[in-house]
Amino acid sequence: MKPKYVIAGNWKLNKGPSETSVFVRDLSDQLTHEVKNSIDIIVAPPFTSLPFAKASGIYIGAQDVHWEDKGAFTGEVSAPMLKELGVQYCIVGHSERRLYFNETDRMINLKTCTLMRNGIKPIVCVGERLEERKAGLMNNVVRFQLSAALFDVEIKRPDDLVIAYEPVWAIGTGDVATPQQAEDMHEVIRQYLEKHFGINTGSEVRILYGGSVNTDNIAGLIEKDEINGALIGGVSLDLAKFISIIKTVTEKER
Ligand code: PEP
């Protein structure tokens, strides 16, 4: 069965509570039930805006989580806390967290495990840096990141886990991967998932592309068989553009 498309907005450090509530209300109002039912739409605002992100037909995503449920970890937020707020998805291992907050593969694995234990779907980000691509190492880099992030992970249902292929050189740069470059990497990820989680599960885990997705390039990307949606940063902050991307993907679904 072809998995349901996902369009997820990663808002990063943007939009406080009031902007968030207006955005999600307008987003939900401007989409028909048919559109909202046909694909999974996620917005991932900052922690303090999460309680204000509830709107019919829109899933709430967090951008990070701590791996412990509670304890002496100043400044952190746990999976049970997110769950209590109604969070259904959580981004883990985003390249900005790896780069600016020294997040390691081990931490990403612990976070993935705690999310799955608590019934929140991790969106695990993987992707190579430009120098790794230039050296032809991208397949190995991504396979290594997957093996580390998914160590000891059990997938009960394929839609309990989402992978986002986000080449670091494409994030926030305007340098989108070509549909074929993205598809090639999604095939590497698909093969990894099928090998380690079995063909039935591995073939249905959603794999998103992320990195400078916009209203002009989404149609070409979504044409590719292994691209099951997109994780969108900058452009997801603009309601009209986010809706336009959702509609392009919904057309493909029909
Ligand atoms: C991201 O941060 O996950 C991302 C894909 O950003 P952008 O769309 O702005 O490149």
Q: How many folded domains does the chain comprise?
A: 1
What rounded mean pLDDT belongs to the chain?
97
Other Cβ atoms less than 10 A from the Cβ of 89: the count is 21
In a domain, residue 70? The reply is: yes
The HSE-up count of residue 34 (CA atoms within 13 Å, CB side) is 6
Specify whether 94 is catalytic.
yes
Which residues have C-beta atoms less than 6 Å from ligand 1?
Answer: 10, 166, 171-172, 210-213, 231-235
In a domain, residue 123? The reply is: yes
Which of 92, 17, 4, 10 lies closest to 52, judged by CA?
A: 17
Other Cβ atoms less than 10 A from the Cβ of 37: the count is 12
* Unique residue bearing structure tokens 């999976």: 79
In a domain, residue 248? The reply is: no
Ligand 1 pocket test, candidate residues 214, 231, 235, most atoms within 8 A of CB: 231
Q: Which residue owns the Cα nearest ligand 1 atom 4?
A: 233
Which amino acid does the sequence have at 232? I
In a domain, residue 113? The reply is: yes
- Over the stretch 89-129, which tens digit does the pLDDT of each residue have? 999 999 999 999 999 999 999 999 999 999 999 999 999 99
Q: Which residue owns the Cα nearest ligand 1 atom 6?
A: 233
Query: Residues 94, 96, 183, 204: which is the catalytic one?
Result: 94
Domain of 120, in residue numbers: 6-243
What is the band of 208 on the pLDDT scale with cuts at 50, 70, 90?
Answer: very high
What is the band of 219 on the pLDDT scale with cuts at 50, 70, 90?
Answer: very high
Whether the per-residue pLDDT at 253 is higher than 80: the answer is no
What is the band of 1 on the pLDDT scale with cuts at 50, 70, 90?
Answer: confident
In a domain, residue 36? The reply is: yes
In a domain, residue 254? The reply is: no
Ligand 1: centre distance to CA 171 (Å): 5
In a domain, residue 249? The reply is: no
Other Cβ atoms less than 10 A from the Cβ of 219: the count is 14
pLDDT value for 165: 98
d(CA 74, CA 133): 37
In a domain, residue 129? The reply is: yes
What is the band of 20 on the pLDDT scale with cuts at 50, 70, 90?
Answer: very high
Ligand 1: centre distance to CA 236 (Å): 9
Specify whether 166 is catalytic.
yes
* CATH code of the domain containing 217: 3.20.20.70
